[in-house]
């Protein structure tokens, strides 16, 4: 029986799987400096290459896990920020602020790197599904407004967020951009 580095086999397995997922994420964020292979992930996680296959059937499984974790955490954070808003107008602004603050923290770097990465069809499908979940949060918030043109507001806000994501990041001065876009969101809501 192999040695484990935790109080139980289950805890050991969870720790190794977490190290594999974190290693996969680190490689994906390396701007193509390192190729995503079983060997590179194993080295990053500090385990033998063939040990990966005790935890997943392929490197694609690890990418799927990175995608699921990253987008799920993003969607949960945006939903929580919107839910905490005191009214519908503030909820729409919270949607924009939350997305841009997450992007400014560097979280969008991973999502951007996935667009050029070779990932499985299931991972791509999961990305679409999770984007739809995030979009549903905006649709719900706009639906609470007393607006004559909710679909135009949604389109404008989605465009505003999409265009702003590349203007914020950990290496950029993002505060001004975020504040400007939040004021623009208020104007869009007020115009609708």
The average pLDDT across 96-117 equals: 75
Give the global pTM. 0.74
pLDDT in tens, 111-157: 665 655 666 677 677 778 878 888 999 999 999 999 999 999 999 99
Rg of the Cα trace of the chain? Answer: 20
- Per-residue pLDDT of 32-89, as tens digits, reads 667 888 899 999 998 988 889 988 988 888 888 887 777 788 889 999 999 999 999 9
In this prediction, residues 103-112 reach a mean pLDDT of 70
* Confidence category of residue 31, pLDDT binned at 50, 70, 90: low
pLDDT value, residue 144: 95
SS3 string, the chain, reads: CCCCCCCCHHHHHHHHHHHHHHHHHHHHCCCCCCCCCHHHHHHHHCCCHHHHHHCCCCHHHHHHHHHHHHHHHHHHHHHHHHHCCCCHHHHHHHHHHHHHHHHHCCHHHHHHHHHHCCCCHHHHHHHHHHHHHHHHHHHHHHHCCCCCCHHHHHHHHHHHHHHHHHHCCCCCCCHHHHHHHHHHHHHHHHHC
Indicate whether 1 pLDDT > 50. Answer: no
Residue pointed to by tokens 């060997």: 39
7 band by pLDDT with thresholds 50, 70 and 90: confident
Task: Give the span between the Cα atoms of 132 and 94, in whole angstroms.
Answer: 18
pLDDT score recorded for residue 19? 92
Q: CA 99 from chain center: how many Å?
A: 9
């Amino acid at each position: 029986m192999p040695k484990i580095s935790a109080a139980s086999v289950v805890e050991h397995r969870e720790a190794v799987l977490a190290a594999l997922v974190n290693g996969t994420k680190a490689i994906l964020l390396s701007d193509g400096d390192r190729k995503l292979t079983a060997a590179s992930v194993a080295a990053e996680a500090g385990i033998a290459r063939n040990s990966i296959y005790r935890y997943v059937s392929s490197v694609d499984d690890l990418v799927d896990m990175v995608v699921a974790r990253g987008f799920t955490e993003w969607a949960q954070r945006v939903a929580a920020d919107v839910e905490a808003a005191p009214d519908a107008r503030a909820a729409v602004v919270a949607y924009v602020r939350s997305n841009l603050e997450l992007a400014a923290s560097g979280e969008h770097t991973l999502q951007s790197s996935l667009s050029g990465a070779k990932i499985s069809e299931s991972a791509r499908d999961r990305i679409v599904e999770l984007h739809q979940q995030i979009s549903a949060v905006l649709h719900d918030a706009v639906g609470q407004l007393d607006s004559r043109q909710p679909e135009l507001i949604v389109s404008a806000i989605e465009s505003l967020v999409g265009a702003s994501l590349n203007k914020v990041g950990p290496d950029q001065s993002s505060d001004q951009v975020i504040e400007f876009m939040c004021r623009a969101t208020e104007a869009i809501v007020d115009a609708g």
